[in-house]
Chains A and B, each alone.
Chain A
Amino acid sequence: MKKSNLILYGTILILGLVAPFIFPGFKLQISFLWILIVLAMTWDVQGGQMGYNTFGNILFFGVGMYLCASVQIGMFFPLAEWTEAGGEKTFVHTAPQYFQGIVFGLLLAGIIPAIIAGLIGYGILGLRGHYFAICTLGLGIAAGEIAGGIELIGAGQGMTTPPWPKNIGGTELRSQFFYYICFGLVIFTFLFLQWAYKTRFGLVLNAIRDNEDKAEAMGIYTMRYKIIGWMVSAFFVGIAGGLMGNMVGYIEPVEVAFAGPTFGVFMVLMAILGGKGTLWGPVIGATVFHLFKEGFWTFFLGWQYVALGVLIVVIVVFFPEGIMGWLREKYPEKFGEVVDEADRKAQVELK
């Protein structure tokens, strides 16, 4: 690893690890930032690297959220009685139960959405372009309406996740606990994608984006890669969902779980803002987005979405390729791209 890389990763790691102690009041917000980064990076697997604009990743977010909470509760208590009003008063998780529940819950919140992604992907990843986008848009909306009708998980009433066990430290410990899991998840996701993009898998995804027919003609079984790509996204998004549910403490089918208009759109925006198709783009995009959003909320009360809208317009007009794309155009040599001055001039003259 290069020295400058080492410094960069070291700085981020240390900052991430000590952040809860330097900014104790911002723990939850930084945890949300990690979740947003995971959402943006995994969206970029399809939207950026593979060229398939999906609006359906929110489906896995919600499924993960409900699964994790249901497992946490269902492992020890009858789920139906819990979701009936008053459940959390009657049934109290002991500390070991709580942690066992969350470990299994998060695992399943990753695995099951991945399987669902495989099954759905097999059915719809044959669609391309707008057709795929519209189809996935429907998935998220349908899931929200269906979840709102299932009594076992609280239907339209929503369900609460298990409260933090009483005798092991207060809310500070709780937010630290979730902070570090979120931080762990974002690091794991980043390293995994960094590795995956370097392998043949990453190259195939790019080939699909650039020319799927040609890739197929060269003998690549593109369908298999598309499905695996979506399963990878679903796995991480599902875990992020499970964590989100626990941090918010209350799962509502349309607003928290299958939150298409908020998180579903945010993940696309963040990736595009940062520069899709790059490793760092979604990370930077999510960070900028989150900071601006939180800032707007404080200073433009009631107008925050207008301000956000203006920001998006500015980005699209002035940085159509996102922040990373803009940097790449400005400093191509920093990205390891060799610019042949003579050739560039010749091209300009040709025009």
Chain B
Amino acid sequence: MKIKNIIITFISAIALVLSSASISLAKVVGDKIILGAAVSLTGKYSTNGEHTKNGYNFAVERINSMGGVKVGGKTYKFDIIYYDDESNSGRAAQLAERLIKQDGVQYMLGPYSSGLTKAIAPVTEENKIPMVEANGASRSLFTKGYKYLFAVLSAANQYLEVAIDLAVEKNGGNPVKIAMAFEQDAFSQDVRIGVVEAAKRTGSKIIIDDKLPKELNDMAATLAKVKATKPDVLVVSGHSKGALTAIRQIAEMKVDVKMLAMTHCDASKLAKQHGKNSEYALCAAQWHKSLSYKDEFFGDGMQYDKEFKAQFGYAPPYQAAESSAALLVWKDAFERANSLDKDKVRDALSKTEMQTFYGNIKFSPAGQNIAKPMVLFQVRCEGDKCENKVVAPTKWAAAKLVHPIPKWSER
């Protein structure tokens, strides 16, 4: 039975391959502190995954070139092992395990999106590996009692609450009619919770509450309803693809609504891709370059914006900025812990209190950043050039909110 021999040979070959793939404990190699990250390089989050990766790399280069990390009198440099999680949560969890068990990574960076962070968090938590994540905003991440999860960004339910408050304020303090459509994913559903709470608080009425499918390509049905019912505010959230789809179809169908509030306008480069069609869209963002925070590595937001643009050829969306901030947090924690022991570093992380170009960072016991507010900006055009202008909070407002949005017939 030669065929059986072939199979036996085949199996032993596999065994050999596996055993020769040496399991290196790579938490620190020479003068390098190895961080692990699974980010989306392919799949539906690939654009934002790329921003995340660029943000990480930008900060790693900057920190390394400015003297690295000083721990116990020795200078270390950061290095990151990347894997591609394909925007798939099953894959992300598997890769987290691989990073920890096979690559021996002891310090993790987060993936892009709440869903993927939710998939990875149970793994890092079980293995007691600290993770500083910059792109998982879902509120449910911070209610599970995770001890090793630290998020530099504000929670998802805070994204568009402000927009509802603003609409009520512009309506003379009277309740408004809200139409909303959210993608079926962890992040957008959390944004929805925030809006629902804001509606309850202000006594506003939700007249359309649609769930949009993942892989969002069409929301004409929702927009047809919006045209018929004329709400005061239209809220849409579905990552970059959702933002692009919404603007495209709102322009096509000429939907008039007083306020259009969205997420992911800068990540999807809305102002560039849709130009004038995207004007007056109100967007929630974790960060904007015009904010006046500072640090020694990147200077302020304007400087970060300029240097990032010079290196990567595009303006950094907040996803890149917050990812860079995660590295600053790591560096700070290592130096304060003055140790490479993961539990000591974890304790140092929990006591973080610092300012970065991205904003103040201070973690609640649940690991959520409680020191940084969200900002709202509006897409404004001058001639053919469209830009995001901060309109709230008032401290940084660079432009006045245009409300209500002019009708399509008058544009």
A100 on interface, CB distance cutoff 8 Å? no
A151 nearest CB across to chain B (Å): 10
B6, B14, B89, B188: the one contacting A252 at CB < 8 Å is B89
B7 and A255 within 8 A (CB): no
Given A29-B98, A156-B188, A250-B118, are A23 and B18 also a contact pair (CB < 8 Å)? yes
Q: How many residues of A contact B (CB 8 A)?
A: 59
A15 and B11 within 8 A (CB): yes
The main secondary structure of chain B at its interface with chain A is: helix
User: Quick one: closest B residue to A249, CB to CB?
Assistant: B122
Q: How many residues of B contact A (CB 8 A)?
A: 57
The main secondary structure of chain A at its interface with chain B is: helix
A22 on interface, CB distance cutoff 8 Å? yes
B140 and A302 within 8 A (CB): no
A86 and B144 within 8 A (CB): yes
Q: In the complex, which residues of chain A have a beta carbon less than 8 angstroms from the beta carbon of B14?
A: 287, 291
Which residues of A (4-36) have their CB < 8 Å from a CB of B? Answer: 4-5, 7-8, 11-12, 15, 22-29, 32
Chain B 84-95 interface mask (CB, 8 Å, partner A; 1/0):
101111110110
B97, B139, B189: the one contacting A155 at CB < 8 Å is B189
Given A22-B19, A164-B126, A305-B42, are A250 and B184 also a contact pair (CB < 8 Å)? no
B7 and A284 within 8 A (CB): yes
B4 and A291 within 8 A (CB): no
A174 and B126 within 8 A (CB): yes
A15, A156, A280: the one contacting B184 at CB < 8 Å is A156
User: Quick one: closest B residue to A335, CB to CB?
Assistant: B3
A327 and B102 within 8 A (CB): no
B311 on interface, CB distance cutoff 8 Å? no
B353 on interface, CB distance cutoff 8 Å? no
A297 and B88 within 8 A (CB): no
A–B Cβ pairs within 8 angstroms, 23 of them: A11-B12, A15-B15, A25-B101, A26-B101, A28-B101, A145-B184, A145-B213, A148-B214, A156-B184, A158-B118, A160-B118, A170-B126, A174-B126, A249-B122, A249-B123, A255-B90, A256-B89, A256-B90, A284-B7, A301-B41, A302-B42, A304-B42, A331-B2
A→B interface (CB under 8 Å): 2, 4-5, 7-8, 11-12, 15, 22-29, 32, 85-86, 88-89, 145, 148-149, 155-158, 160, 163-164, 170-171, 174, 244, 248-250, 252-256, 259, 262, 280, 284, 287, 291, 297-298, 301-302, 304-305, 327, 331, 334-335
